[in-house]
């Protein structure tokens, strides 16, 4: 038997978890032929088949199941070495990062900056989506770290709770500063329909004004702010994003007597397999978010 290679074991673990060579290849940033070649090389090295291949997917053989236990131990050992021995400058890895638009519009650039400062060779792939999709992507192992409306209530997920994001009511300039705004009579720009902020705002408006309130949900916060700035409606939107526009005179804050609850975000990742890199990134996200408060 020739020496086992770490990249072959990592590919084996990915295929075992996904039960698919193509999904494992995507997660590892490999081509499918490259992933297949690694599995074949590992099987040739050990001298036995590790997977039963069928239309239903890749399933471990008895020998493959035995190897899985040792491969997980080996991966855990490599994580400990990376955590305690390897200089962060030498960490050459991929990280798939999923973020909600609220974060993308605020402190994401700062977060990526501190990540690159600590891990200069780290390659980061970023996707921006609504939180419900990010949750599914994390549980499906399509991303490594999700910064989303959380926490995620799943025993497989570890959550680092981030500072709350305060909301405030904004309208376009014009009129007397103290003029009241009738929320039952103006369109309200808000988060996309299938999000928690939309549901909570809709429930609060229904309780106060009944079913006739007009809401304009959008998956783009930038569009919401542009709509308010143009005088086409008002919005309960993140204070951190609206405050600069307020200082520029493009928006005016107002108080209708109540404000929706702050948004709670988390940096969430799968607890197994443990990754020191992802754990560290989640804590760095917390530190960057704290600086923004």
The pTM (predicted TM-score) of the whole model is 0.76
- Say how far apart CA 126 and CA 129 lie, in whole Å: 10
Q: Are 263 and 164 in contact (CB under 8 A)?
A: yes
CATH of the domain at 249: 3.40.190.10
Same domain, 150 and 205: no
The reply to whether 44 falls in a domain is yes
Last residue of a domain, one of 84, 112, 146: 84
Extract long-range pairs of 181-185: CB within 8 Å, 24+ residues apart.
181/234, 181/254, 181/256, 183/208, 183/209, 183/213, 183/234, 183/256, 184/208, 184/209, 184/210, 184/212, 184/213
Task: Indicate the SS3 state at residue 283.
Answer: helix
23: domain CATH number? 1.10.10.10
How many CA within 13 A on the CB side of residue 34?
12
Mean pLDDT taken over the chain: 87
Question: What DSSP letter does each residue of 99-139 carry, written as one string?
Answer: E-HHHHHTTHHHHHHHHHHH-TT-EEEEEE--HHHHHHHHH
Is residue 49 within 8 A of residue 63, CB to CB? The reply is yes
Domain span at residue 129 reads 88-164+264-292
Out of 156-160, 165-169, 206-210, which region has the weakest mean confidence (pLDDT)?
A: 206-210
Total structural domains in the chain?
3
Distance CA 186, CA 292 (A): 31
pLDDT of residue 282 exceeding 90, the answer is yes
Q: Which of 60, 84, 108 is the last residue of a domain?
A: 84
Under the banding of pLDDT at 50, 70 and 90, the label for residue 18 is confident
CA 293/CA 166 separation, integer angstroms? 9
Compare 87 and 196 and report the one with higher pLDDT.
Answer: 196
User: pLDDT (tens digit, 9 = 90+) per residue, 49-61?
Assistant: 999 888 777 889 9
When mean pLDDT is compared across 77-86, 113-122, 124-133, 225-234, the lowest value belongs to 77-86
Shared domain check, 276 and 211: no
pLDDT at 55: 76
Is the domain of 192 the same as that of 215?
yes
Give yes or no: residues 268 and 160 share one domain. yes
Domain check: are 175 and 194 in the same one? yes
- Whether 78 is covered by a domain: the verdict is yes
Flag whether 275 is in a domain: yes
pLDDT above 70 coverage of the chain, percent: 91
Which residue, of 44, 66, 84, is where some domain finishes? 84
Q: What one-character DSSP code corresponds to residue 90?
A: G
Judge whether 1 lies within some domain. no
Average pLDDT for residues 118-140, to the nearest whole number?
90
In degrees rounded to 5, what are phi and psi of residue 57? 130, -170
Task: Among 11-15, 25-29, 87-91, 195-199, name the one with the lowest average pLDDT.
Answer: 87-91
The pLDDT value recorded for residue 82 is 61
Number of H helices, E strands in the chain: 11, 12
Q: Is residue 259 in a domain?
A: no
Same domain, 148 and 183: no
Q: In sequence order, what are the beta bridge partners of 128?
A: 99
In a domain, residue 36? The reply is yes
242 and 194 in a single domain? The answer is: yes
Assigned domain for 218 exists: yes
Determine the pLDDT at residue 146.
Answer: 96
Does residue 53 fall inside a structural domain? yes
pLDDT of residue 25: 86
Q: What is the pLDDT of residue 83?
A: 56
Same domain, 249 and 269: no
- pLDDT at 246 (0 to 100): 94
CA 287 to CA 293: how far, in whole Å?
Answer: 10
| Contact assessment for residue 122 and residue 115, using Cβ atoms and an 8 Å cutoff | yes
Residues 6+ apart with CB under 8 A from 116: 122, 124
99 band by pLDDT with thresholds 50, 70 and 90: very high
Are 250 and 173 contained in the same domain?
yes
pLDDT digits (tens, 9 = 90+) for 37-94: 999 988 888 888 999 888 777 889 998 888 888 888 777 776 666 655 554 555 557 8
Domain identity same for 99 and 152 = yes
Residues 152 and 197 in one domain: no
My answer on whether 53 and 67 are in the same domain is yes
* pLDDT higher than threshold 90 for residue 168: yes
Residue showing tokens 């994390």: 138
pLDDT at residue number 175: 66
- Asked if 36 and 27 touch (Cβ cutoff 8 Å), the reply is no
Q: How does residue 2 score in pLDDT terms, banded at 50, 70 and 90?
A: low
């Amino acid at each position: 038997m020739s020496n086992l290679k770490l990249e072959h074991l990592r590919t084996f673990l990915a295929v075992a978890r996904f039960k698919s060579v193509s999904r494992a290849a995507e997660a590892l940033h490999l081509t499918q032929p490259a992933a297949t070649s690694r599995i074949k090389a590992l099987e040739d090295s050990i001298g036995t088949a590790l997977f039963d291949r069928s239309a239903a997917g890749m399933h471990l053989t008895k020998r493959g199941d035995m190897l899985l236990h040792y491969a997980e131990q080996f991966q855990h050992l490599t994580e400990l070495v990376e955590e305690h021995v390897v200089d962060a400058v030498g960490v050459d890895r991929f990280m798939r990062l999923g973020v909600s638009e609220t974060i993308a519009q605020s402190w994401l650039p700062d977060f990526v900056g501190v990540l690159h400062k600590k891990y200069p060779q780290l390659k980061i792939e970023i996707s921006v989506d609504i939180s419900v999709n990010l949750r599914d992507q994390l549980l499906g192992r399509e991303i490594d770290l999700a910064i989303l409306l959380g926490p995620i209530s799943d025993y497989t997920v570890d959550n680092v709770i981030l500072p709350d994001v305060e909301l405030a009511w904004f309208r376009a300039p014009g009129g007397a500063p103290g003029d009241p705004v009738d929320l039952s009579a103006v369109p309200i720009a808000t988060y996309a329909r299938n999000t928690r902020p939309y549901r909570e705002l809709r429930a609060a408006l229904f309780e106060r004004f009944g079913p006739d309130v007009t809401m304009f949900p959008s998956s783009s916060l930038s569009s919401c702010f542009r709509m308010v700035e143009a005088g086409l409606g008002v919005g309960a939107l993140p204070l951190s994003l609206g405050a600069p526009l307020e200082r520029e005179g493009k928006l005016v804050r107002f108080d209708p007597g109540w404000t929706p609850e702050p948004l709670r975000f988390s940096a969430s990742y799968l607890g197994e397999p443990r990754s020191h890199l992802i754990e560290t990134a989640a804590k760095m996200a917390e530190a960057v978010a704290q600086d923004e408060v």
